[in-house]
Structure 1
Amino acid sequence: MPYSFLAPALILFTLFLAAPIGYAAYLSLRRVRVTGLGLGARSRIEQWAGLDNYARSLSDPEFLPSIWRVAAYGMIVVPTMLGLALLMALLLDAGRSRVGGFARISIFLPYAVPAVVASLLWGFLYLPRVSPITDLLEALRIPAPDLLSSSWVLWAVANIAVWGGTGFNMIVLYTALRAIPSEIQEAARIDGATDVAIAWRIKIPILLPSLVMTFVFSLIATLQVFAEPMTLRPLSNTISTTWTPLMKVYRDAFTRNDIYSAAATSVVLAVATFALSFGFLKLVGRRAFHQED
């Protein structure tokens, strides 16, 4: 009986997750050998390539810069997003907002907006000719920066991610805060603790497992950034086709029609994501999830 309940989820997992991953790993080890003009029935033969696709992917001069851009993007997005989410969750839990329900919905609502739609909205706000922000700054005689220039585009993309992801992380942290027994906070207040002391010495240590979980989710999302720069790319010539590793995968697969190199890059990214997530959990997991030790 238990297996019959698990069967639908296992079947869906196998068909739509495990099988595509296995097929991508298989393609990453293959290549196509073209003979003649490549027009005959046997002119394109798929054959074993070993690790050649991985070598080409890692030696691509555009691959390493895309990794550094994602690293810089993550250093902006993850601390900012989690810091804002933690601050908002603590303020809502402390009862400072008399419109708690409206505030929670307002903060969470950007997460419900699809990334492509959010990128289009912010993209038009970034364009100097149509942006009301530019008009407002000009009215105040403040020079408006070109947010899609090479100096600002990384911050522009990061802003979209922070705007969209803060609400989700806030809800996760706020839910964990609501699970803290009220007796603990009442005892602290009787002892003379302020709201800041309660947040720093009681709430944040108890929130550590949730903070670790949201950090891992944010790290994975950072490594998979694609929709925001891909949507903004037609609006700016500062975003190349290989601005992020996933954009490089898209270019190789659908522009150059090289699915084998794209599969190899995808496997490299998947392994890097797993290694970073597992390494971080291994580093802080015992302290975060086994505090009773």
Structure 2
Amino acid sequence: MTQAVVPVSPAGQTTETTNPRRGDRAGKNRAPRSWRGWGFVGPFMLVFALVFIAPIAYSLYISVFRTQLVGGTQFVGLDNYIRAFQDPQFWDGVGRVSLFLVVQVPIMLGIAMLVALAIDSGRLYGKDFFRISVFMPYAVPAVVAALMWGFMYGPRFGLVGYINEFFGWSIPNPLGPQWILLAIGNIVTWSFVGYNMLIFYSSLRTIPVSLYEAAELDGAKQHHVIRHIKMPAIRGSIAVAMIFSIIGSFQLFNEPSILQKLAPNSITTYFTPNLYTYNLSFSGQQYNYAAAVAIIMGVFTMVIAYVVQLRGMRKDA
């Protein structure tokens, strides 16, 4: 019959070993779960649920109904969504904002990138004043910016009209049907170049100085530093700015809504999906169909932003 071996400590005292079958006795003395963290997160979660989750849930709810003068409110399932996919006015607005996105966003981000690189280069005189001046338009509310540029675009009462009259020129009407989208793109670019410039410039300031010193020792030129050091370092910021710009493009509403009063023949009620949704809801009293259009645009925007984010993460990897 074998005897169990009892481990002995260096001082000659026996030590007890814990039997794994009995479990950890310390677990019985484990402190009770504290809900203190929810006290800090709770207010945010409450506001988030009220201003974000609840409106989306309500929109989903009313989008599967149809309210009529005869028959009242009836459950129609996905009929509103099918109607939206077959609506030429809806797709006209989607195509317009897609064209706006493809043309305006690269121009805006390119200008913002050039300005950020110029400020970060250290060769720009009065860079602090220049940085504030470029960022200043972002502080102007979108409604004020649209009104200001709208009156400058006026062919009879604005800056364009005065230039044509003074010089005898015939500058095309920026508020005309052929140029209105370009005029809106100019307003948006003027407003958001400073915002994106600040994002890029903040990322450029995080690059270690040692990388610049190593490049200088290797004899790298300025364009080599920009291409191989600065651009890879701010790739994540470029992806973030692009996602914000994509979301902003699909949510285009303030500028065409304000300019519609100045150019009623150029901006229709379905000029953008958001403007179309607004007019359906508040002018046409078609709340159910407007909710379906809004849900479709929300999902569409989310998918595009997610694809762009995935591409940015793959490049970073």
Note whether the superposition's TM-score is higher than 0.5. yes
* From 71, 78, 86, the counterpart of 1:59: 86
- 1:138 Cα deviation (Å)? 4.7
- Matched letter for residue 93 of structure 1: D
SS in 2 for 1:192: coil
1:144 correspondence with 2:178:
no
Unaligned runs of 5+ in 2: 1-35
User: Aligned-pair distance for 1:257?
Assistant: 0.5
| SS of residue in 1 equivalent to 2:88 | coil
Number of the residue aligned with 2:117 = 90
Amino acid at match of 1:30: F
Residue of structure 2 in register with 1:41 after alignment = none
For residue 256 of structure 1, what is the aligned residue in structure 2? 284
Distance, in Å, in 1 between the alignment partners of 2:202 and 2:275 is: 35
Per-residue deviation at 1:220?
0.5
Is structure 2 residue 305 aligned with structure 1 residue 270?
A: no
Q: Counterparts of 1:28-47 in structure 2 under 5 Å? A: 28-35=63-70, 45-47=72-74
Distance 1:259 1:221 in 2: 23
Which residue does 1:39 correspond to in 2?
A: none
2:26 aligned partner: none
State the Cα RMSD in Å.
Answer: 1.4
- Structure 1 residue 137: deviation in Å? 5.1
Deviates more, 1:47-56 or 1:171-180: 47-56
AA of the residue aligned to 1:255? S
The CA distance in 2 between the partners of 1:33 and 1:256, in whole Å, is: 12
* Identity %, equivalent residues: 37
State how 1:1-293 maps to structure 2 within 5 Å: 1-35=36-70, 45-136=72-163, 138-236=165-263, 237-288=265-316, 290=317
SS at 2:252 equivalent: coil
Runs (4+) of structure 1 exceeding 3 A deviation are 136-142
Deviations 1:174-195 (A, max 9, x none): 0000010111112112222222
Once residues 131 and 49 of structure 1 are traced to their aligned partners in structure 2, the CA distance between those partners, rounded to angstroms, is 50
TM-score, reference length from structure 2: 0.85
8 Å Cα contact 2:235-2:312 kept in structure 1: no
Whether the 8 Å contact between 1:94 and 1:195 is mirrored in structure 2 is no
User: For the pair shown, which has the larger CA radius of gyration, 1 or 2?
Assistant: 2
Aligned residue identity for 2:64:
L
TM-score (norm 1): 0.92
Q: Which position in structure 1 is the counterpart of 2:20?
A: none
Q: Please tell me whether the aligned partners of residues 67 and 245 of structure 1 are also in contact (alpha carbons under 8 angstroms).
A: yes
Contact 1:126 1:146 in 2 (8 A): yes
